[in-house]
């Protein structure tokens, strides 16, 4: 399965071949509430590139804790074929869906490699202002754009990597355009950086078909040199700089996708055991990251890595970025750095991110989950079979994550031409409809003593989310607090219009306070309620029915104690 392969080898720098249970165990280990230090600490005069400095002096900025919901443009040349994730790698793996698609639509990878697809990425219908207006209507408080993916193409005017979108494909500074327009709309701006994986991820481009009519003929990366670009669209560019050079060529005899993936898992394990990428690659990676930040001053940098990428180089970047942020903001630290599978003892130094999953407890330190309406890269097959998440699934995930001290980053897949399809647009508008009515109960909230109640538990661990439909019902309630009030996020609409919250029943040891008033966000009219020995029962007005669910604001003496 695609998700299983990504779960096992997508991180690229941790123990990539761990069984899924082991991955979940690492990802969901809670940060003890009594450990460490206070959530807010004054930053040092200057961070140094080590975990002791990061964990002692960093505090997650309030803007991130208040924002709760972001939208992501995970947009690269891999969206051009409209054939799903990991196309740039898997088009070189015979037997894969991408390999078959490439043969049918573009030709054999010995003749037409992925670098040609990068130049087919034209973004000719891209209207970023319209998209950002849509995402703002959807309730996003921050926006993230992809700065580079594993295929090693920078989407900004990179000074240290000539393979970038001002010279290849769109011939545009995509990050610069997104940044300007996002800030004009008052959105915090983030970038995602995936390029640390390119060192090993592009290596299949140096391989060959092990059998068939083209057996043994090397793919494009093996053959191409800078000199061969004379008179072509890539004149002056070195393909070896894009594909990172042949240093991990696969052994002879590999003939299936699974065998190829097993070999790449082994190379990932070498990385996790301390066998580093070439130092030239790592140094250039750091220069590119710093260049990206200096040009566009993002509020957040997302790393698609297990822990910080490239060992000491990742630490050097994080410390440098925090110092830059303080210089930009008169000593205030406004920067966020995220990574996946962050060990509990490091979660006070960066923000832990859980890809396509969640946590089953209230995390002491703010965290984020990131997911997508469909696949990360645009997939026409999902559109054809209605394979997208529903607006209800997204909102219910958001409520569950927020109740556990987290944020949700939602990717809306884009076509290569820069558009999103009509089904995605409808889902995003539906999300916005709910957020406009009930978002007050989401933004700037903080966790309560328990995150919720009901028969349905959120998924825990990386890649643990379910399908496109939400399993939650009106019996599932998630809790958060704000301004002395308790917010109840009800994940459905009860058939009899009565919400029943058992944790808030009369004489409950969980909430011994007195409920004096219940309202809906934006609605000053109090709702009828009664507190029995079984539950706090709130009667909802039938005219306010919403199929996704409802948010309630409970006021009174000691309701958040």
Look up residue 443 and give its two tokens: 């933004």
Distance CA 12, CA 265 (A): 8
**How confident is the model over 377-398, as pLDDT tens digits?**
999 999 999 999 999 999 999 9
Q: In this predicted structure, what is the pLDDT of residue 207?
A: 95
- % helix / strand / coil in the chain, to the nearest 5? 35, 20, 50
- Domain locations along the chain: 49-221+224-354, 445-553
Distance CA 117, CA 82 (A): 12
Query: Which pLDDT band, with edges at 50, 70 and 90, does 270 fall under?
Result: very low
Q: In this predicted structure, what is the pLDDT of residue 22?
A: 28
C-alpha separations of 162 from 25, 167, 176, 202, 449 in Å: 41, 7, 16, 17, 51
Q: Is the pLDDT of residue 24 over 50?
A: no
Q: Is the pLDDT of residue 34 over 90?
A: no
Residue scoring higher pLDDT (251 or 320): 320
Mean pLDDT (whole number) for 346-355 = 97
* Choices 3.20.20.80, 3.40.50.10090, 3.40.50.170, 2.30.110.10: CATH for 49-221+224-354: 3.20.20.80
Q: Is the pLDDT of residue 271 over 70?
A: no
Q: Is the pLDDT of residue 119 over 60?
A: yes
Q: In this predicted structure, what is the pLDDT of residue 496?
A: 96
Mean pLDDT (whole number) for 266-288 = 67
Look up residue 290 and give its two tokens: 């710093």
Query: Which pLDDT band, with edges at 50, 70 and 90, does 40 fall under?
Result: confident
Q: What percent of the chain has pLDDT over 90?
A: 82
Distant-in-sequence, close-in-space partners of 350: CB < 8 Å, separation ≥ 6: 54, 58, 308, 318, 337, 338, 339, 342
pTM: 0.90
Query: Which pLDDT band, with edges at 50, 70 and 90, does 33 fall under?
Result: low
**How confident is the model over 148-205, as pLDDT tens digits?**
999 999 999 999 999 999 999 999 999 999 999 999 999 999 999 999 999 999 999 9
Q: In this predicted structure, what is the pLDDT of residue 209?
A: 96
Q: In this predicted structure, what is the pLDDT of residue 12?
A: 30
Q: In this predicted structure, what is the pLDDT of residue 279?
A: 75
Mean pLDDT (whole number) for 29-51 = 74
Distance CA 365, CA 444 (A): 15
Q: In this predicted structure, what is the pLDDT of residue 39?
A: 67
Distance CA 237, CA 463 (A): 37
Contact yes or no for 319/47 (Cβ under 8 A): yes
Q: Is the pLDDT of residue 19 over 50?
A: no
C-alpha separations of 279 from 122, 246, 298, 310 in Å: 33, 15, 26, 10
Pairing of strands 336-340, 529-531: unpaired
Q: What is the mean pLDDT of the chain?
A: 90
The architecture of the domain spanning 445-553 is Sandwich (2.60)
DSSP code, position 543: G
Distant-in-sequence, close-in-space partners of 360: CB < 8 Å, separation ≥ 6: 28, 457, 458, 460
Residue scoring higher pLDDT (462 or 54): 54
Distance CA 150, CA 78 (A): 10
Q: In this predicted structure, what is the pLDDT of residue 41?
A: 84
């Amino acid at each position: 399965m695609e998700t299983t392969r990504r779960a096992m080898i997508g991180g690229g720098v941790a123990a990539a071949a761990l069984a899924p249970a082991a991955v979940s165990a690492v990802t969901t280990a809670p940060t003890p509430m009594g450990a460490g230090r206070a959530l807010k600490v004054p930053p040092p005069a200057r961070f140094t590139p080590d975990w002791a400095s990061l964990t002692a002096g960093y505090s997650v900025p309030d803007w991130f804790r208040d924002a709760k919901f972001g939208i992501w443009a995970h947009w690269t040349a891999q969206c051009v074929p409209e054939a799903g994730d990991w196309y740039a790698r898997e088009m070189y793996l015979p037997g894969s869906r991408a390999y078959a698609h490439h043969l049918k639509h573009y030709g054999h990878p010995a003749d037409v490699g992925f670098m040609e697809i990068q130049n087919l990425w034209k973004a000719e219908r891209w209207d970023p202002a319209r998209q950002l207006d849509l995402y703002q209507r959807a309730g996003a408080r921050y926006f993230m754009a992809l700065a580079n993916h594993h295929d090693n193409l920078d989407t900004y005017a990179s000074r240290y990597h000539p393979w970038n979108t001002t010279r290849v494909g769109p011939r545009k500074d995509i990050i610069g355009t997104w940044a300007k327009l996002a800030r004009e709309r008052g959105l915090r701006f983030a970038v995602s950086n995936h390029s640390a994986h390119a060192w090993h991820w592009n290596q299949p481009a140096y391989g060959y078909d092990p059998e068939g009519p083209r057996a043994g003929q090397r793919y494009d990366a093996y053959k191409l040199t800078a000199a061969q670009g004379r008179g072509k669209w890539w004149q002056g560019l070195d393909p070896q700089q894009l594909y990172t050079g042949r240093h991990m060529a696969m052994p002879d005899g590999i003939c299936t996708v699974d065998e190829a993936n097993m070999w790449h898992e082994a190379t990932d394990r070498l990385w996790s055991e301390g066998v580093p990428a070439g130092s030239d690659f790592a140094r250039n990676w750091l220069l590119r990251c710093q260049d990206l930040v200096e040009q566009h001053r993002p509020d957040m940098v997302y790393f698609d890595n297990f822990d910080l990428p490239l060992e000491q180089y990742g630490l050097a970047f994080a410390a440098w970025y925090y110092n830059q942020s303080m210089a930009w903001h008169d000593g205030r630290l406004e920067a966020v750095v995220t990574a996946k599978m962050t060990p509990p003892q490091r979660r006070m130094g960066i923000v832990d991110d859980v890809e396509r999953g969640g946590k089953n407890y209230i995390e002491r330190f703010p965290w984020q989950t990131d997911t997508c309406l469909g696949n990360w890269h645009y997939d026409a097959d999902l559109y054809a079979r209605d394979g997208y998440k529903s607006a209800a699934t997204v909102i219910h995930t958001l409520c569950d994550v927020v109740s556990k001290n987290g944020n949700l980053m939602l990717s809306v897949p884009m076509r290569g031409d820069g558009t999103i399809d009509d089904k995605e647009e409808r889902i995003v508008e539906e999300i916005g409809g709910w957020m406009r009515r009930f978002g007050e109960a989401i933004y700037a909230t903080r966790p309560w003593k328990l995150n919720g109640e009901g028969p349905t538990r959120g998924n825990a661990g990386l890649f643990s989310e379910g399908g496109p439909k939400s399993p939650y019902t009106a019996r599932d309630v998630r809790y958060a607090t704000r301004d002395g009030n308790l917010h109840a996020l009800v994940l459905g609409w009860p058939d009899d219009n009565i919400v029943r919250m058992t944790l808030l029943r009369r004489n409950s040891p969980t909430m011994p306070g007195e409920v004096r008033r219940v309202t809906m966000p934006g609605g000053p009219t109090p709702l009828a309620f009664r507190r029995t020995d079984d539950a706090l029962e709130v009667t909802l007005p039938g005219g306010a029915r919403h199929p996704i669910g409802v948010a309630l604001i409970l006021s009174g003496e000691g309701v958040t104690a």
